[in-house]
C-alpha cells in the first residue's frame, strides 16, 4: 500500500508537462530524422512524419508519468518532476486528451495507408501496455528491458524506414544495433537510479537482479555499443556527417565508467548532449529542406 506522501512544493508545474522528459523525446526526433537524412528523403511530408513521431513520444512519456504518479509521490525528487503528482488530473480528462491527440497523430500516419494505420496502432498499444495496468510491462522483469530496447530508441528509426520505403543497407542495421544497446543501457541506468522507488512499486529487472550485477551489465552493454560504433567508423560504414552525433553522445556514455557506482547519471550532461544533437539535426535537416 502506498503511504507517506511527501509534501511537494514546485513552481510552474505546467512547465513540467510541456518539457516532460525533454531528453527522451528529443532523442526520438533525432532518431526519426536519421533515415530521412541518410536516404535523402528530406521533404515536407517527412518533416510532418518526424514531428508526429516526436509528439507521439512526448505523449507516451507523459502517459507514463500519469500512471507512475502514485509511486513517484513516494520520492521527493521524482515527485517534483512529475506533473501529475503536483496537479491531480481526473482520468476522464486524460482519456479525452489522449483520444484527441492520438486522432491528430493518426492523420500523419494515415498518409502511408494501411501500413501507417498498423504502425499507429502498435504505437498506441505499446504506449498503453508499457505504463498502464493491468499489463504495465515496465514492472515485469525482463519484459521491461525488452520493451524499452525495442520501442524507445530503435522503433523511431524502424518506422521511418518503413514509411519512406528505403532499401535497408549495412549502415541501417549498424545504427539499429547501436540504438538497441543505447536504449537497453538507458533503461538499466534509469532502473539503477530509481531502485528505491521501484522496490516499493512492484519491482523491475534491476530490483530482481540487484544493483551490483546490473551495473556490471550496464557497463558491458555500453562497451559493446561503443565497440560497434568504433568499428563502423573505422571501416567507413558510418558517414562523416553522422560523426558529430557520436561525439555528442560520448560524454554521457563514458560517464558510466568513471563515476562512482552509487552516484546517478548527470541529468544536466544528458540534457546538454541530447539538446546539442537535436540542434545539430535541425540545422542539417532544414538546410537541405530549404535549399
pLDDT tens by residue, 235-274 = 999 999 999 999 999 999 999 998 876 677 778 888 899 9
Write out the residue range of the structural domain in which residue 32 sits. 22-290
Closest of 135, 69, 50, 55 to residue 100, by C-alpha = 55
Report the C-alpha gap between 276 and 282 in whole angstroms: 10
In a domain, 12, yes or no: no
pLDDT recorded at residue 57:
95
Burial class (CB in 10 A: 0-12, 13-18, 19+), 108: buried
pLDDT at residue 78 in the model: 85
The rounded distance, in Å, linking the Cα atoms of 74 and 77 is 9
CA–CA separation, 185 vs 229, rounded Å?
15
What is the end-to-end Cα distance of the chain in Å, rounded? 59
The answer to whether position 6 is within a domain reads: no
pTM above 0.85, yes or no: yes
Of 262, 287, 279, the residue nearest 27 (C-alpha): 279
Q: Which residues of 41-71 are buried (b: 16+ CB within 10 A; e: fewer)?
A: bbeeebeebbebbbbbbbbbbbbbbbbbbeb
Contact at 8 Å (CB) between 145 and 187?
Answer: yes
DSSP letter assigned to residue 166: P
Tell which residue, 68, 66, 203, 64, has the closest CA to residue 142. Answer: 203
pLDDT tops 60 at residue 63: yes
**What pLDDT, on a 0 to 100 scale, did the predictor assign at position 7?**
46
Average pLDDT, the chain: 91
The lowest-confidence range among 58-62, 85-89, 277-281 is 85-89
Report the alpha-carbon distance of residue 162 to residue 116 in Å, rounded.
9
Determine which of 78-87, 206-215, 229-238 has the lowest per-residue pLDDT on average. Answer: 78-87
Number of domains in the chain: 1
Q: Is residue 196 domain-resident?
A: yes
Domain-located, residue 17: no
3 lies in some domain = no
The beta-strand segments (E) located in 85-198 are: none
The answer to whether the beta carbons of residues 130 and 152 sit under 8 Å apart is no
d(CA 193, CA 262): 9
- Answer whether residue 209 is part of any domain: yes
How far apart are the C-alpha atoms of 134 and 275, rounded to whole Å?
Answer: 35
Among residues 145, 142, 177, 139, which one has the least CA distance to residue 158?
177
Give, in order, the Cα–Cα distances in Å from 267 to each of 11, 21, 79, 272, 273: 19, 11, 16, 8, 10
Residues 151-183 pLDDT 10s: 999 999 999 999 999 999 999 999 999 999 999
Amino acid at each position: 500500500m502506498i503511504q507517506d506522501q511527501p509534501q511537494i512544493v514546485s513552481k510552474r508545474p505546467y512547465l513540467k508537462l510541456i518539457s516532460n522528459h525533454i531528453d527522451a523525446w528529443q532523442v526520438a526526433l533525432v532518431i526519426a530524422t536519421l533515415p530521412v537524412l541518410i536516404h535523402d528523403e528530406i521533404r515536407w511530408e517527412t518533416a510532418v512524419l518526424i514531428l508526429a513521431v516526436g509528439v507521439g513520444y512526448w505523449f507516451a512519456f507523459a502517459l507514463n508519468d500519469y500512471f507512475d504518479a502514485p509511486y513517484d509521490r513516494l520520492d521527493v525528487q521524482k515527485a517534483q518532476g512529475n506533473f501529475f503528482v503536483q496537479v491531480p488530473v481526473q482520468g476522464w480528462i486524460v482519456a479525452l486528451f489522449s483520444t484527441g491527440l492520438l486522432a491528430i497523430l493518426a492523420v500523419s500516419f494515415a498518409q502511408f495507408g494501411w501500413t501507417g494505420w498498423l504502425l499507429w496502432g502498435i504505437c498506441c498499444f505499446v504506449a498503453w501496455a508499457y505504463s498502464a495496468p493491468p499489463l504495465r510491462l515496465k514492472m515485469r522483469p525482463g519484459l521491461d528491458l525488452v520493451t524499452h530496447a525495442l520501442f524507445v530508441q530503435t522503433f523511431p528509426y524502424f518506422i521511418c524506414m518503413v514509411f519512406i520505403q528505403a532499401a535497408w543497407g549495412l549502415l541501417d542495421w549498424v545504427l539499429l544495433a547501436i540504438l538497441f544497446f543505447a536504449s537497453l543501457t538507458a533503461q538499466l541506468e534509469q532502473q539503477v537510479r530509481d531502485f528505491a522507488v521501484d522496490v516499493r512499486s512492484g519491482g523491475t529487472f534491476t530490483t530482481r537482479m540487484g544493483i551490483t550485477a546490473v551495473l556490471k551489465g550496464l557497463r558491458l552493454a555500453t562497451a559493446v555499443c561503443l565497440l560497434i560504433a568504433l568499428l563502423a567508423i573505422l571501416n567507413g560504414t558510418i558517414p562523416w556527417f553522422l560523426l558529430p552525433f557520436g561525439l555528442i553522445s560520448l560524454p554521457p556514455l563514458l560517464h558510466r565508467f568513471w563515476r562512482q557506482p552509487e552516484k546517478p547519471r548527470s541529468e544536466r550532461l544528458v540534457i546538454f548532449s541530447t539538446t546539442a544533437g537535436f540542434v545539430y539535426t535541425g540545422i542539417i535537416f532544414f538546410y537541405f529542406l530549404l535549399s
